């Protein structure tokens, strides 16, 4: 009886461990999906190439648009002028100051990434002489592991059909590193195909993530509008599907919902932060008069 009870307990513990491991792996996959403009990353290969190597591809897709409340302005041109300042741009990229953002060097390598993405998606705006590169840092914590990511976003200031300024952001590349218990880090690297040597290298993304921030009319005033279009491809061994607690379709549905929640939070913070930055700049300008 003791023997049977022990076997039963062991089986239950094994099932629980498998479920926990599956959920942890699912969490890792979701972590690789990230948030708006920042940690939307996976391995630097196309989904089709990886799928051909006995891999499975999950596609998480999110479209989201947010328009702020009317912004109090004395004249519409006032907001348009301040909208082009570096402070507004940084506020949008940092999710309202909640993440570290710094400007990087738009090197030949990053220019090549940018041009390659635009060739594949002609609807995207080409980079120009005023295009810039920004680096955003994030971290995600899991049991036994912390994932650090730095994401490269290209930024171009263009003009809409009415001649108003509009920021367009495009995910170009990323680099990741992990810290934690050695066995957990090893498992993470196995799942993601990352190596120690790649931790210091920016790798071209295989995802399709673009966003924009523009000024729109809102009655007698103006409003700030932010749009995100993200398609994330998470690739992993097909054998992993056998231990995940749901179907591939359900994973994509749940993953997209999870990613949408993160994007909504970040975009809401970005818009609120940019509006607050404008109001502060407006107040400072008034004080100088």
Rounded alpha-carbon distances, angstroms, from residue 188 to 145, 191, 213, 281: 9, 5, 35, 45
pLDDT, tens digit, for every residue of 176-233?
A: 788 888 877 777 776 666 665 555 578 888 888 999 999 999 988 899 999 999 998 8
Q: What's the confidence (pLDDT) of residue 140?
A: 72
Taking 3-state DSSP, the helix, strand and coil percentages for the chain, each rounded to the nearest 5, stand at 45, 30, 25
How do strand 165-180 and strand 132-142 relate by DSSP bridges? unpaired
Which residues on neighbouring strands pair with residue 152, listed in sequence order?
Answer: 135, 173
Stronger pLDDT, 39 or 137, i.e. the higher one = 137
Q: Which of 101, 39, 67 is nearest to 271 (CA)?
A: 67
pLDDT-derived band at 4 (thresholds 50, 70, 90) equals very low
pLDDT exceeds 50 at position 109: yes
Is there a contact between 58 and 124 (Cβ–Cβ < 8 Å)? no
- Whether pLDDT at 110 is above 60: yes
User: How confident is the model over 47-82, as pLDDT tens digits?
Assistant: 444 445 677 888 889 999 999 999 988 888 888 988
How far is it, in rounded angstroms, from Cα 238 to Cα 129?
A: 44
**Percent of the residues in the chain that have a pLDDT greater than 70, as a whole number:** 74
Structure-block tokens of residue 251: 């994973």
Give pLDDT tens digits for 140-149: 776 677 878 8
Report all structural domains of the chain as residue ranges with CATH numbers, in order of start.
2-288 (3.30.530.20)
């Amino acid at each position: 009886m003791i023997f049977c009870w022990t076997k039963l307990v062991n089986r239950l513990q094994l099932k629980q461990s498998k479920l926990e491991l599956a959920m942890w792996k699912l969490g890792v996959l979701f972590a690789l999906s990230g948030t708006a403009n920042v940690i939307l990353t996976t391995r630097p290969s196309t989904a089709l190439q990886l799928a051909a190597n006995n891999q499975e591809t999950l596609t998480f897709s999110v479209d989201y648009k947010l328009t702020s409340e009317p912004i109090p302005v004395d004249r519409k041109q006032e907001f348009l002028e301040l909208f082009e300042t570096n402070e507004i741009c940084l506020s949008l990229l940092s999710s309202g100051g909640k993440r570290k953002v710094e400007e990087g060097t738009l090197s030949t390598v990053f220019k090549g990434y940018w041009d390659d993405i635009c060739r594949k998606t002609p609807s995207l705006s080409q980079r120009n002489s005023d295009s810039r590169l920004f680096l955003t840092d994030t971290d995600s914590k899991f049991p036994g592991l912390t994932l650090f990511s730095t994401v490269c976003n290209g930024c171009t200031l263009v003009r809409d059909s009415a001649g108003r300024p509009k920021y367009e952001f495009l995910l170009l590349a990323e680099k990741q590193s992990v810290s934690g218990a050695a066995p957990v880090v090893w498992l993470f690297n196995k799942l993601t195909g990352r190596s120690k040597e790649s931790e210091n290298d920016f790798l071209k993304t295989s995802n399709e993530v673009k966003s924009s921030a523009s000024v729109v009319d809102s009655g007698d005033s103006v409003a700030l509008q932010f749009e995100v279009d993200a398609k994330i491809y998470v690739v992993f061994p097909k054998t992993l599907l056998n231990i995940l607690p749901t179907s591939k379709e359900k994973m994509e549905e749940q993953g997209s919902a999870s990613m949408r929640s993160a994007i909504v939070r970040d975009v809401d913070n970005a818009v609120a932060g940019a509006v607050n930055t404008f109001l502060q700049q407006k107040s400072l300008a008034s004080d100088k008069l």
